Amino acid sequence: MTKYIFVTGGVLSSLGKGLAAASIGALLESRGYNITIQKLDPYINVDPGTMSPFQHGEVFVTDDGAETDLDLGHYERFTNMSATQQHNWTTGRIYQKVINKERRGDYLGNTVQVIPHITDEIKNSITKLASPETDIVLVEIGGTVGDIESLPFLEAIRQLRLEVGPSDAINLHLTYVPYMRAAGELKSKPTQHSVKELRSIGIQPDIILCRSEYDLPDDLRRKVALFCNVPTDAVKVAIDVDNIYKVPLKLADQNLDSLVCQLLNLDAGKIDLRKWRDLSALIDSDRAEVNLAIIGKYVDYPDSYKSISEAFTHAGFHHRVRVKVEWLESARFEKGQHLEELARFDGIMIPGGFGSRGVEGMIRAIQYAREAHIPFFGICLGMQLASVEFARNVAGLESANSSEFEDDPRYKIIYKLRELVDIDEMGGTMRLGAYHCELEPGSLARKAYGAEAVSERHRHRYEFNIEFKKSLEAKGLTFSGISPDGMFMEIIELRNHPWFLGCQFHPEFKSKPFEPHPLFRDFVGAALKRHKSQADTQKADSPKEEAVS
């Protein structure tokens, strides 16, 4: 029978519920259990697809085309699970489903209410993930206890635990223990109030996970246990770490996973944490540094590119280097100024984005990377702008542009998706989810993947206009990845360049710490090669000290 772990949070947001759930999932997998993790978000948006990256961070895309919360990226990176539409539900999506049922008459004329209709739909979304193959479902409730919008979700998990029984479902509450520097001590009162709020709606936590800058002394653990009605051994600490991939070990050192197994009447068995311990040792080791520039639109809020940041970290693990990323606002380069600053970087990336702001700066940066032979990697918008830059500055199509930025450019290198295909076949106006791509023999992409074809996740409205394929190929642009039907250009490359590649899809979504994405891996490898070459040149050019006789 499938077991459930409900993860809630209190006091304030951004405590790390997603990382806690992902880390617990990783530990349970290390004990041999099959797990999956779900995120329930209390906002009324149907999904985060239309939300500003400045407010919500990146939109994580699944194979089946769901636009989901960025926490699902943590779930996939830390565990073996593959997320789907069923792994992220919002208030908007729950209410939409209930209202659709009401309009069809499914409720037989009954008055539709939050309880039981909304809460039943929430419970259904959770229990759908239970199966004979799934031992444990972890469910993260977004938001903070005390928020009015979270109440239906909390009521649903209260009911569900009552229905399945305490040995098949437990509540883990993540809260905050601040350090008051003026007083020189940790304070447990916020945690006490958070648990009091949770208990007032009928939920008693089984485990309290205290987020803190410092470890909790024994007397404070006992105090939290006493006032929050849990055993002292059930008070754990989620201490700040310098790298998120250390979190599973920090929790394992406190036997959190053993306690979970005990509470759920599961055989703890043996745990194999060798790969996590090896990774932690690598993180702490002395490593060379590779410097990369990411030139984008949302650089003031790094969570907008969360999966990209993590993919670079994974590639750094593979090459045993530290990847230092500097985020640069693309508008800085729009007038051709400051481009010389890019010479100090070992690689340049242009990530995805929407809208016209800053694109001319990106195009100038791409031109600089191409002409200065600096390794370049473009993702989605980055690939499209690399195509436009090549068309303008190499193929002689000076007014080339995308219809996203100009209504009717003379050379429409990039088309809006609905201009190319019947949008009903693609699900709205975006190409979302996993699509296949065939790779050209001898290409950078084929070498990276080591395969003839791959499946990658997409999220975009615009495509390369195949009418210009032959003319750009004649000038040296290689289309090394193409959809099986030949309709969509998925990857472009330059052969006479150290490493220059753009892809229409989002490879960052499939990168993991123990399995870095091949394109990120090889891009960082090319950057490392440039770094070593420049270091050797500087060493050779430096004046040698004369021997003292």
Catalytic positions = 380, 506, 508
Sheet hosting strand 462-464, strand order edge to edge: 400-402, 411-416, 462-464
d(CA 130, CA 322): 40
Residue type, 309: S
d(CA 292, CA 188): 42
For residue 166, is the peptide bond before it cis, meaning its omega torsion is within 30 degrees of 0? Answer: no
Buried b / exposed e along 65-103 (16+ C-beta atoms within 10 A): bbbbbbbbbbbbbbbebebbbebbbbbebbbebbeeeee
Bridge partners (DSSP) listed for residue 493 = 478, 501
DSSP character string of 80-137: S----GGGEEEHHHHHHHHHHHHHHTTTTTPPP-IIIIIHHHHHHHHHTT-BTTBSEE
Bridge partners (DSSP) listed for residue 478 = 493
Sheet hosting strand 88-90, strand order edge to edge: 88-90, 35-41, 136-141, 3-9, 169-176, 207-212, 235-239
d(CA 139, CA 39): 6
Longest dimension (CA), the chain: 103
Residue whose pair of structure tokens reads 């600089």 in the numeric block: 368
Give, in order, the Cα–Cα distances in Å from 297 to each of 19, 73, 356, 375: 26, 21, 10, 20
CA atoms within 13 A on the CB side of 22: 24
- In this structure, how many other beta carbons lie within 10 angstroms of the beta carbon of residue 300? 11
Residue type, 354: F
- Tell me the chain's radius of gyration from C-alpha atoms: 26
Structure token digits, residue 454? 């791959």
- Look at residue 274 and give its three-state secondary structure: helix
Angle at 171 between CA 166 and CA 172, to 5 degrees: 145
Sign of CA dihedral 148, 199, 47, 128: negative
Buried b / exposed e along 179-215 (16+ C-beta atoms within 10 A): eeeeeeebebebbbbbbebbeeeebebbbbbbbbeee
d(CA 103, CA 428): 23
